[in-house]
Amino acid sequence: MNFFRNDCKADLHIHSTFSDGALTPEEIVTMAVQAGISIISITDHDSIGGIAPAKQAAQQSAITVINGVEFSAMIEEIEIHILGYGFDTEHPALQKHLEYFRHERYRRAERILDKLSSAGLPISMEQVTASARHSAIGRPHIAEVMVQKGYTATAAEAFRDYIGRDGIAFESKTDIAPSKIIDIIKSAGGVAVLAHPSRCIKEKYLIEMIRDGLDGIETVHPYVPADSAGYYRRLIKQYHLIETGGSDFHGRPGQQEFGRHVISETLVDDLKARVVFNKLML
């Protein structure tokens, strides 16, 4: 099966400065034009702030911007990510939960800063907020401040020694079930897609997500190897799901994924059809 067509390329997993990406939505649109990508989705973590500026910038080009977001959920202390596409950005339930996630991110950051302070590495919330600018606060913003203050040489070191899962200042995210995230996305008329899955997710949990309304699985991604992609495509066919993909681009130095991990217009059409179906089922 050919998942790539010469007439259209789509990247449906991109992060901007509205979460932990390095480039603005406008800069991403420019990059998409240069890379020959026709359809994009800005899928920031717990934020939809990048959608409007991306669409505004895309008006000056042939780029189509699909509404997108990326939420986190937990299964057996394993963090998974669920992408939402095609939803109504003004839907009250979605807005309510986005505000809740912003609040929870802020509280998590406060707990991390308390632990860092106890370790002799004081950082103020004002410094983290300045690093985050208009985006949802996350650990990359804390890591950026740690580098600025000379506590670590790199952000990677900050994660490894302090704020990553094995670090002394680590704090878990709010424990939200996948079914809750799926409900949030679908209540706003969107489709819910499991992002960059790995085989460490037990199949029984994947089946539970499908029964809870999961619409699709991301099979094209820098960290989804060919054997895993084949496994998930079999499940997609078996359970009549949709298939998506993208670069998970953050604009970090040395990141070369943009333009390399794309899907065809045919798969985008399948996604759009599922959006229409889900809205009819509301």
CA dihedral 272, 273, 275, 277 (to 10 degrees): 170
Average per-residue pLDDT in the chain? 92
**pLDDT at residue 141 is higher than 80:** yes
pLDDT of residue 7: 59
Q: What is the pLDDT of residue 175?
A: 86
- Burial status of residue 265 (CB atoms within 10 A of its CB: 0-12, 13-18, 19 or more): middle
What is the mean predicted confidence (pLDDT) over 226-236?
93
Token pair for 61: 């080009």
The percentage of residues in the chain with a pLDDT greater than 70, rounded to a whole number, is 95
Give me the pLDDT at residue 125, please.
96
Assess whether pLDDT exceeds 80 at residue 198. no
User: What is residue 254's predicted lDDT score, i.e. its pLDDT?
Assistant: 63
Helix axes 92-118, 178-187, angle to 10 degrees: 140
pLDDT at 233: 96
| Angle, CA of 29, 54 and 273, to the nearest 5° | 95
For residues 269 and 227, give the distance between their C-alpha atoms in angstroms, rounded to a whole number. Answer: 25
Residue 51: both structure tokens together? 């959608």
Quick one: pLDDT at residue 281?
A: 87
Domains 10-89+178-281 and 97-163 share a fold: no
CB 137 within 8 A of CB 121: no
Per-residue pLDDT reduced to its tens digit, 30-66: 999 999 999 999 999 999 999 999 999 999 898 999 9
DSSP states along 137-172? P-HHHHHHHHHHTTS-SSHHHHIIIIISTTSTT--P
- The residue ranges of every structural domain in the chain are 10-89+178-281, 97-163
pLDDT at 214 over 90: yes
Q: What is the CATH number of domain 10-89+178-281?
A: 3.20.20.140
Complete edge-to-edge strand list for the sheet that includes strand 39-42: 10-14, 39-42, 64-65
Burial 82-104 (b: 16+ CB within 10 A, else e): bbbbbbbeebeebeebbeebeeb
d(CA 241, CA 262): 18
Asked if residues 244 and 221 have their Cβ atoms less than 8 Å apart, the reply is no
Comparing 37-41, 115-119, 169-173, 185-189, the range with the smallest average pLDDT is 169-173
Neighbours of 35 (CB within 10 A): 16
Architecture of domain 97-163: Orthogonal Bundle (1.10)
